[in-house]
């Protein structure tokens, strides 16, 4: 493996890591606040991609501009998911039951998208999808640069909201102890509904960038979920910064394996991360304990 | 305990006997339908192909019913979804034959699903005619009931490789890359092509396998682009894989002299939409059929397809023709043996007879591979998928080599 190849793999990992962070951040946020494992996260990424596709094809709205519409739409969908389904689950078995509920939600999303768009593959289109910036010996694709910048801005915004606002304090209080949060006057149900909405809303952005970099059909979300779970577990459930850091770390590792060794082993990086983290540091790199101490 | 075992065995034998009788039943009252059981990937990884097969089978059934069905029986298709799962497909054929007693069965989509399901179908003694299970893994099981109407996949890239090898030395590419997805359909195709090209002096600079469940091809595609091979032979099963490589190559300002993918470019409009209009030009794909085929029955099928689903001839997915061909071959076999007796159908298909399909002639060897059909290499040229190799064959256009530059 040449030095240039190594640098290229690292650059690829950093840029695609941004895309994965966008897709995984919502999953992390929702789990962190509500102990919900959202199996529908992959389907929601694809839903976000289709929303961007519909706006782009039918209304000619630019992909990034379209986020002003798709993010609020997905935000409302997230709140509906929490209000309509998650809230109805008993506190004791909510985590396990959420897997079934969100899996059902994923199937519903897939079914509706199949009816609306069919099973043929689509891909988002824009003038900047194939262009790239030449720096030293490397071409950096514009769409990945834009996606990475979007990830930094959105996840940075979430971080500020999480740690620098009253709402964020409420969120973290709900994360730590629902009863105590109730006692100090936090409307936990409302906080959780908003948190789910935010988590799903951010996923719209991840879906747009995913749809701009990969062809997709209504079924494409299932291949994503194991990777997204690995990112969230490594980063630490509930940690937005952790999602970003672990996405970049895992994608760099996977891309180096693919380039230096065999692509077929790159997927191993994600599964190995899950096993290692759960065995030696279950809270992840920036897990709940670390989040709460900030 | 012993009595119970004997009783269980007796029940099993009686059940199998009844199934065999069902499978071997002859035509009954002319008004009763003949049910054909099929498992298709209507969701999951192969859903795009599965849906196309669904259309192809239904198109054949509608056409055949207009002609009076099979032996006077109207055709009824019983299609179950396997969600692209190798375990569900096995369950489905057990249901279709064991529980529902369908008289005939057609194959699913992909070698990955044909391999496990063919064993189950063989246990019931049913003929298993299919159009998308051409991998050596399907025929290496020693079964005598599997018949693939399409081109054996191991020979898919022969024509392309021989064409490249035949180029004058001054024009012949010097280097080649062979990235492939880990799949029984793609992997057998590349080594024979690589061998032909290596013998012609084309050096392999990249030959690695990508996991089937991969969703991010950036690193692999960029690694290939960095080596700047003259030709790229991509083992792909679907549109997203090819699309990811195309976009990465454009972003890396790399355009190979020839770019062929084992599948994906044959998906018509879906492929063009994914790679971006214009970027499809020059990309090649091996196949046994194309929408503008001059065969009369093919043209009739395409006309009916367009009337029902819209689009143009070039945009008709080759899966449609594969599925339709399965129906045609079974029709000829049933009409010849005069019944739905699966053992007689199997014997007839193994008899060395040459049958007809929209894809071309069909003649099965002892393993069930179609030896009469040769792969043609197709190339997108100005938005049309034209047959180009073997050069000079009837209906072919001259291949564009080197491939035109990307349009965006």
pLDDT digits over B245-259, tens only?
A: 999 999 999 999 999
Q: How high is the pLDDT of residue A62?
A: 95
Residue A47's alpha-carbon distances to A152, A290, B293, in angstroms, are: 22, 32, 38
Span of A290-294, B171-175, B179-183, B262-266 with lowest mean pLDDT:
A290-294
d(CA B161, CA B195): 9
**Residue of B219, B220, B254, B264 to mutate when probing chain A, most A C-beta within 10 A:** B219
Average pLDDT taken over every residue of chain A: 88
Find the residue in B nearest to A9 (Cα): B219
Q: Please tell me the pTM assigned to this model.
A: 0.82
CB contact under 8 A, A139 and B214: no
The two tokens of residue B355 are 């049958």
Looking at the predicted structure, is the pLDDT value of residue B8 above 80?
Answer: no
Q: Which of A1, A130, A230 to mutate to test the interface with B (most CBs of B within 10 A)?
A: A130
CATH superfamily of B2-153+317-362: Response regulator (3.40.50.2300)
Distances A203 to A38, A53, A70, A178, B213 between C-alpha atoms, Å:
12, 15, 10, 25, 21
- Residue A145 CA to residue A129 CA, distance in Å, equals 11
Query: For position B247, what pLDDT does the model report?
Result: 95
On the question of pLDDT at B10 being above 70, the answer is no
Of A190-199, B1-10, B392-401, minimum mean pLDDT range: B1-10
Q: Which residues contact A206 (CB under 8 A, 6 or more apart)?
A: A19, A20, A22, A23, A24, A25, A26, A45, A48
Asked whether the beta carbons of B255 and B280 are under 8 A apart, the reply is no
pLDDT digits (tens, 9 = 90+) for A72-127: 999 999 999 989 888 888 777 877 888 899 999 999 999 999 999 988 889 999 98
| pLDDT of B1 higher than 50 | no
pLDDT tens, residue by residue, B325-370: 999 999 999 999 999 999 999 999 999 999 999 999 999 999 999 9
Q: Is the CB of B310 inside 8 Å of chain A's CB atoms?
A: no
pLDDT tier for residue A16 given thresholds of 50, 70 and 90:
very high
Q: Which of residues 346-405 of B touch A (CB under 8 A)?
A: none
Does B145 have pLDDT greater than 70?
A: yes
Give the one of A119, A122, A129 whose C-beta lies nearest to B247's C-beta: A129
> Which chain A residue is nearest to residue B83, measuring alpha carbons?
A219
**Is the model's pLDDT at B25 over the cut of 50?**
no
| Across A5-29, average pLDDT | 90
Confidence category of residue B394, pLDDT binned at 50, 70, 90: confident
> Which residue of B210, B224, B251, B252 is the best one to mutate when testing the A interface, meaning the one whose CB has the most A CBs within 10 A?
B251
pLDDT at A290 exceeding the cut of 50 = no
Task: Say what the pLDDT of residue A107 is.
Answer: 92
Angle at A26 between CA A24 and CA A30, to 5 degrees: 120
Which of A182-186, B4-8, B102-106 has the weakest average pLDDT? B4-8
**Any A CB within 8 A of B50 CB:** yes
Q: Which helix (H) or strand (E) holds B258?
A: strand B258-261
Mean pLDDT, chain B, as a whole number? 90
* B322 pLDDT more than 60: yes
B41 CA to chain A: closest CA distance, Å?
11
Q: Which residues of A touch B250 (CB under 8 A)?
A: 130
Contact B251 A141 (CB under 8 A): yes
Yes or no, beta carbons of A130 and B408 under 8 Å apart? yes
- Domain extent listing, chain B: 2-153+317-362, 157-261+269-288+376-389
Architecture of domain B157-261+269-288+376-389: 3-Layer(aba) Sandwich (3.40)
Min distance A119 CA to chain B CA atoms (Å): 5
At residue A280, the pLDDT reads 86
CA atoms of A28 and B164, how far apart (whole Å): 51
Could you list the beta-strand ranges (E) of B42-110.
75-81, 104-106
- Confidence at residue A287, expressed as pLDDT on a 0 to 100 scale: 67
Query: What tokens appear for B48 in the block?
Result: 């795009």
Domains of chain A: 3-118+135-293 (1.10.3470)
Going by pLDDT thresholds of 50, 70 and 90, the confidence category of residue A288 is low
| B interface test, pick of A6, A120, A141, A218 with most B CB neighbours within 10 Å | A120
Nearest CA in chain B to A1: B223
Question: Does residue B134 carry a pLDDT above 60?
Answer: yes
Two domains, one topology: B2-153+317-362 and B157-261+269-288+376-389: yes
Residue ranges of B 171-190 with Cβ closer than 8 A to chain A = 179, 182
DSSP B31: T
| Cα B184 from Cα B190, distance rounded (Å) | 11
Q: Do B240 and A216 touch (CB under 8 A)?
A: yes
Q: How are strands ordered across the β-sheet holding B175-177?
A: B203-206, B175-177, B231-234, B258-261, B283-287, B376-381, B384-389
Contact A139 B213 (CB under 8 A): no
Residues of A in contact with B243 (CB under 8 A): 121, 123, 214-215
Q: What mean pLDDT is predicted for residues A197-201? A: 92
Of B48, B240, B251, the CB nearest to A214: B240
Q: Which residues of chain A have a CB within 8 Å of the CB of B252?
A: 132, 139
Q: Say if the Cβ atoms of A120 and B48 lie within 8 Å.
A: yes
Question: Closest Cα of chain A to B329: distance in Å?
Answer: 27
In our burial notation (b when 16+ CB lie closer than 10 A, e otherwise), range B213-235 reads ebbbbbbbbbbbbbeebbbbbbb
């Amino acid at each position: 493996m040449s030095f240039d190849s190594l640098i290229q793999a690292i650059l690829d990992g950093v840029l695609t890591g941004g895309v994965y962070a966008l897709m995984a951040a919502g999953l992390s946020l929702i789990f962190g606040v509500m102990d919900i494992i959202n199996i529908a996260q992959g389907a929601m990424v694809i839903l976000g991609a289709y929303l961007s596709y519909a706006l782009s094809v039918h209304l000619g709205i630019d992909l990034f501009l379209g986020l002003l519409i798709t993010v609020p739409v997905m935000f409302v969908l997230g709140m509906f998911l929490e209000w309509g389904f998650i809230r109805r689950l008993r506190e004791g078995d909510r985590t396990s039951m959420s897997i079934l509920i969100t899996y059902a939600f994923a199937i519903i999303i897939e079914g509706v998208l199949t009816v609306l768009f069919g099973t043929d593959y689509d891909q988002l289109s824009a003038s900047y999808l194939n262009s790239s910036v030449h720096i030293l010996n490397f071409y950096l694709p514009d769409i990945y640069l834009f996606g990475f910048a979007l990830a930094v801005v959105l996840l940075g915004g979430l971080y500020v909201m999480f740690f620098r606002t009253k709402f964020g304090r409420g969120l973290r209080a709900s994360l730590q102890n629902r009863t105590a949060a109730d006692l100090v006057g936090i409307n936990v149900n409302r906080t959780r509904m908003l948190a789910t909405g935010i988590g799903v809303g951010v996923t719209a952005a991840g879906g747009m960038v995913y749809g701009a970099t990969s062809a997709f059909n209504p079924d494409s979300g299932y291949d994503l979920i194991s990777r997204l779970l690995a990112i969230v577990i490594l980063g630490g459930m509930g940690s937005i910064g952790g999602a970003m850091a672990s996405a970049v770390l895992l994608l760099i590792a996977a891309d180096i394996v693919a380039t230096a060794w065999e692509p077929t082993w790159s997927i191993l990086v994600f599964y190995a991360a899950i096993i290692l983290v759960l065995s030696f540091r279950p809270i992840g790199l920036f897990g709940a304990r670390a989040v709460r101490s900030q | 305990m012993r009595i119970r075992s004997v009783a269980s065995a007796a029940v099993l034998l009686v059940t199998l006997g009844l199934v065999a009788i069902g499978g071997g039943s002859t035509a009954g009252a002319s008004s009763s339908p003949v049910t054909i059981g099929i498992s298709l990937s209507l969701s999951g990884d192969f859903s795009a192909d599965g849906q196309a097969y669904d259309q192809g089978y239904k198109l054949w059934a509608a056409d055949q019913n207009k002609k009076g069905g099979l032996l006077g029986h109207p055709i009824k298709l019983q299609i179950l979804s396997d969600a692209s799962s190798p375990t569900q497909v096995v369950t489905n054929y057990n249901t279709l034959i064991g529980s529902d007693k369908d008289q005939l069965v057609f194959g699913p989509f992909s070698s990955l699903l044909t391999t496990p399901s063919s064993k189950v179908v063989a246990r019931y003694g049913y003929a298993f005619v299919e159009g998308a299970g051409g991998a050596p893994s399907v025929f290496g099981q020693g079964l005598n009931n599997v018949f693939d109407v399409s081109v054996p996949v191991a020979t898919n890239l022969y024509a392309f490789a021989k064409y490249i090898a035949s180029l004058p030395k001054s024009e012949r590419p010097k280097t080649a890359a062979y990235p492939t997805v880990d799949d029984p359909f793609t992997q057998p195709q590349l080594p024979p092509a690589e061998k032909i090209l290596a013998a012609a002096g084309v050096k392999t600079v990249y030959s690695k396998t990508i996991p089937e469940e991969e969703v991010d091809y950036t690193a692999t595609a960029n690694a290939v682009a960095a080596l700047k091979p003259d030709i790229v032979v991509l083992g792909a099963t679907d549109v997203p894989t090819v699309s990811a490589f195309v976009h990465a190559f454009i972003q890396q300002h790399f355009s190979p002299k020839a770019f062929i993918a084992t599948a994906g470019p044959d998906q018509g409009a879906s492929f063009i939409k994914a790679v971006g209009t214009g970027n499809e030009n020059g990309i090649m794909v091996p196949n046994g059929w194309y929408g503008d085929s001059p065969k009369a029955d093919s043209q009739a099928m395409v006309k009916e397809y367009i009337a029902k689903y819209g689009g143009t001839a070039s945009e008709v997915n080759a899966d449609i023709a594969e599925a339709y061909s399965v129906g045609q071959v079974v029709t000829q076999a049933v009409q010849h043996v005069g019944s739905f007796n699966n053992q007689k159908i199997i014997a007839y298909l193994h008899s060395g007879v040459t049958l007809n399909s929209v894809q071309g002639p069909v003649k099965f060897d002892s393993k069930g591979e179609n030896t009469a059909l040769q792969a043609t290499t197709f190339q997108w040229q100005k938005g049309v998928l034209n047959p180009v190799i073997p050069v000079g064959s009837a209906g072919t256009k001259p291949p564009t080599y080197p491939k035109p530059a990307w349009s965006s």
